[in-house]
Amino acid sequence: MILKCPSCQAGLTVAELDCASCNISIKGEFALPALLRLAPAQLDFVEVFLKNRGVIRDVERELGISYPTVRARLDEVVAALGYQVRAPASEEVSADTPAHRRAILEDLRAGKITPEQAREALARKPSE
């Protein structure tokens, strides 16, 4: 699904819904569900996470990544959905954490995100 205007990069909105069965069309401005606003790499991660019923060990194995990387990606998705990321008492969640940066670079290396998306993710603050 295209979420940004190919011309100016502004956010797109859904303006029309069509029924293929009866050909009815509904026009207006419709909000997208939060999950559809996730980046493609984030959606891929959510799919693997759900398929493995949230068992981080299984997610690690399937994606070939470490526990801290799984946690960093999960925290990234939680933040992207607009929820507050809970930090363990001993560590502060930050976009500058090595695990977060490694997760982004692993996604880039695997071709799951573009260099531009990686640059934006590395520059993004945790609250964004």
Whether 49 is covered by a domain: the verdict is yes
Q: How far is CA 50 from CA 24, 106, 120, in A?
A: 34, 20, 26
Confidence of residue 18 (pLDDT cuts 50, 70, 90): very high
Average pLDDT score over residue span 61-73: 91
Name which residue leads in pLDDT, 107 or 1.
107
Q: Do residues 11 and 4 lie in contact, with contact meaning Cβ atoms separated by under 8 Å?
A: yes
Whether 26 is covered by a domain: the verdict is no
Structural domain including 46 reads 34-123
Whether 22 is covered by a domain: the verdict is no
Name which residue leads in pLDDT, 127 or 54.
54
| For residue 90, pLDDT beyond 50 | no
Q: What is the pLDDT of residues 22-66, one digit of tens each?
A: 999 999 998 888 888 888 899 999 999 999 999 999 999 999 988
Total number of domains constituting the chain = 1
